[in-house]
Structure 1
């Protein structure tokens, strides 16, 4: 361990208790997507008190903070991204930091992501003030709202979060791994998420005389079954595709065949070509059942988020840093992509970056509540650990003449946010 790495670790160790209390405060006071005003204000005040350059995100939600120690003309920045929103899930844990907001909790670890990025900012700023950084750095800390609704990343990008940024890092809690393990994967880490809406128009009639109607409920049942049965037969067996319908709405009386039925579901794929092929398959299935049932089907797809595709160079840097901290036992190679979604993908449409999976289960636990569980929690040692991993990696990018400075600090043109 070099002198600057040792000093950075010491700074973060000193923050340990503070980070735990900060995270617990967020956990007690969660705010759902679109309502993250108090969380944003708190972060704005804390980051401003550190002496960082701070600005609020759109509509008073989200925060962007900058640390720049270059004298005059400097480098592009390395960004560290956290998400700050919570979920409409009841917190059933018996702990003193249980959510105080009925029906809302941090069940996906966003309070931890926020805290460890804040810890990285605090440690790096402390070293900058004491002139202990080994070389100049330029780091941006992005605290993003509305990840769960897949609109926050786009809003922050439109607000300038990626201006003069060349590379971006992020983390995600992983309750399937014990504390001390870090999940790495090059390429696809999560799936693209598409919302499916299908509106079926038939003709209404008496439930006792279905032959006098064109039943949209019967058509909906055929459609769901056919999609579920057919897609595995027309999709390359090496490609992952998930289609699930979670909502069906139609009818108001048990003895009346309704005029319309609406279905809503989700499509998850990893590769763009597979996504397009699956959408075409669903359209063809709908056309066939529409003809057979004499109904009309309106099928639409709306992209929630693209797949997170981790840059190989960024993964190499983060893995090297992890090995420096934990040794090789800390490295976990993620064998396959998750079919969950993450709007971190929108940042990666513009610049390279990577998301890590931080093990957050207490080692030796037989069972640990998974993401979106009413009992979700973390081993809080992951907070200083994650802060150290991100902060060290950010500093390493700026080492003069290093492989990382040559690969990850190249100026890039950020495309217009609407292009996503």
Structure 2
């Protein structure tokens, strides 16, 4: 075993020794989930976990973020490590002993585990300050679940020369997955997660009695026709080699069985992997919906709200994650993903500014079939806590190796 691998093995051993502390923090955060950009209780839990460490703390002005800066023994560059902190608006039905105590809120995406893993990684890094040539910027962010929390932190000065630790040279984030084998690490170079936009279409006709549709202008057939027309457009206007998904997930119209409504509303999501395709589809959705409405004698108001951009991993940074995970776990447990996934992530805002990588940490519970395991965002999702020491060691190892080589 090389000296570098021996240090990595020791790091993993130390991460396992911290498991009781990591689990305790994860469960405390899990019991008290908070949603959105303002997470005072979660922020306090993070501050408590870092209180005895030699870090400089910076709190968000408009959001409940925590930025902790750990300075190494020698000058050098900055490495950013991110953990998101917010929960989701759904009722928990897992039956775990530390279930959510907040009605209508649940850590269904594993952000509680991210918080705990990064806090324990900070402890390992603080114990290894003499090995750091530079500084580690620990980014605990609210509002990942659709609230653009990373963008808010960037707007408040997280990155750049005037930021709490200058402009990072590399940035890394881990995300647990309940449908990947526990302890495995999956990532890829280039796009790993999609851009996500919201599409809302209001179709307006003329209401009337359901027995006399000829005296009305029914918006319902127009809306139904749009769903099919949009899917046809997708296959005819987008290159088959480009990834794009358009799903109309909600159609609402009418109040009772014998009234033709004046309007119908559709709502859906657009997922793309390339900005040119994204721009094309914004234009095409407008065109198809408006013209389909006109063909039915209706009008269409089309609104497309831009969400997170594509999450694109730097090729070298992704390779570093895979290499480190392979040495930590064995090469078979460090997997290069063949394809990106169509979910979205606001770590994309950081990766637009800083070369880095997002990776998935498998956390499917033992004995659970991967094919049927409740997935992230399910009210029944359960994450295997025994995977967390791997996340702790990986977070810390990425910073140590990047700064030791500086």
TM-score, normalised on structure 1? 0.89
Structure 1 residue ranges, 4+ long, deviating more than 4 angstroms after superposition: none
Give the alignment partner of residue 352 of structure 1, picking from 352, 355, 375.
355
> What is the aligned partner in structure 1 of residue 320 from structure 2?
317
Contact 2:322 2:335 in 1 (8 A): no
Does the aligned pair in 2 maintain the 1:150–1:342 contact within 8 Å?
Answer: no
User: What is the match of residue 205 of structure 1?
Assistant: 208
User: Is 1:398–2:403 an aligned residue pair?
Assistant: yes
Secondary structure in 2 aligned to 1:243?
Answer: strand
Q: 2:139 aligns with which of 142, 146, 164?
A: 142
Q: How does 1:11-410 map to 2 (within 5 A)?
A: 11-70=14-73, 74-128=75-129, 133-163=130-160, 164=166, 165-366=168-369, 367-400=372-405, 405=406
Q: Secondary structure at the match of 1:225?
A: helix
- Unpaired runs of 5+ residues, structure 2, are 161-165
Given that 1:202 and 1:260 are in contact with CA atoms closer than 8 Å, whether structure 2 keeps it comes out as yes
**Could you tell me how far apart the structure 1 residues matched to 2:108 and 2:309 are?**
22
Aligned length, in residue pairs: 395
Name the SS for the 2:62 alignment partner: helix
Contact 2:322 / 2:336 at 8 angstroms: preserved in 1? no
Please, what TM-score do these two structures have when normalized by structure 2? 0.92
1:321 Cα deviation after fit: 1.2
Q: Which residue of 1 aligns with 2:163?
A: none
For the aligned residue pairs, the C-alpha RMSD in angstroms reads 1.9
Relative distance call for 1:362 and 1:260 in structure 2 (3 A) is: closer
Q: Distance in 1 between matches of 2:76 and 2:131?
A: 15
Cα distance in structure 2, aligned partners of 1:238 and 1:228? 16
- What do the CA deviations read for 1:359-404 (whole angstroms, capped 9, x no partner)? 111455324321112221111122111110111111111224xxxx
Summarize the Cα distance change of 1:236–1:6 in structure 2 as closer, same or farther, 3 Å threshold: closer
1:259 to 1:87, Cα distance in 2 relative to 1, 3 A? same
Which ranges in structure 1 are unaligned for 5 or more consecutive residues?
Answer: 406-420
Deviations 1:89-133 (A, max 9, x none): 2211222111111221111111111111111111111233xxxx3
CA distance in 2: counterparts of 1:291 and 1:376, whole angstroms: 45
Residues 238, 154 of structure 1: CA spacing in aligned structure 2 closer, same or farther, 3 A cutoff?
A: same
